[in-house]
Amino acid sequence: MTYQVINAIVVHSDPELSAAQAHGMATGMLCADEQAQSAVWLNELLRHATPVTDEDRTTLVHLFEDTQSLLMTDEFEFDLLLPGDEALLSEQVEALTGWCQGFLWGVGVTHAASDLSREAADILKDIAEFTKLDTDAEGEEDENDFVEITEYMRSAVLLLRSELNKEDE
């Protein structure tokens, strides 16, 4: 599924959201509880939104289920749903900040902060800092920073999923 397809559905339903935020929410929920259900995510995502068509709802459910599968595999195939390289770097960074906001929300509604390890708490603090990134990014240095942050996020998400689901093992 492409960012543009998901973004069109999400923005049409709620102009205040983006595909990145929606995916961040789903990923955060799944990191905190790998048994989280797509229906809960959809209810939260569409709480203040215009209703979506059955076809669009199915597309969103597939996004959630694909994310769940990718998070559970050991293949390190999980990736953040962000605009592709054809988008301006500033748009990519803005989407990343929204993804991080959605992720923190997803973790927050699914997992109590009181029982986090120091490592997990530090990762969540880093992610909170990423919500404040300067979106006026341009140039090679900013592009390198963006790539570095997204790679960190991929690893951080998988570490958090493992950490937050230990009690289930």
What pLDDT shows up at residue 77? 87
Confidence at 168, pLDDT banded by 50, 70, 90: very low
Q: Give me the percent of the chain exceeding a pLDDT of 70.
A: 96
DSSP secondary structure of the chain: --HHHHHHHHHHH-TT--HHHHHHHHHHHHHH-TT--HHHHHHHHTTTSPPPPHHHHHHHHHHHHHHHHHHHSSS---------TTS-HHHHHHHHHHHHHHHHHHHHHHS-GGG--HHHHHHHHHHHHHTT--S---SHHHHHHHHHHHHHHHHHHHHHHHHHTGGG-
42-99 pLDDT, tens per residue? 999 988 888 899 999 999 999 999 999 999 887 888 999 999 989 999 999 999 999 9
**What was the pLDDT predicted at 82?**
96
Query: Which one is predicted more confidently, 19 or 1?
Result: 19
> What pTM did the predictor assign?
0.92
112-148, pLDDT tens digit by residue? 666 778 888 899 999 999 999 988 888 899 999 999 9
- pLDDT tens digits, residue range 52-66? 999 999 999 999 999
**Is 80 exceeded by the pLDDT of residue 169?**
no
User: Which fold would CATH assign to domain 3-168?
Assistant: Four Helix Bundle (Hemerythrin (Met), subunit A) (1.20.120)
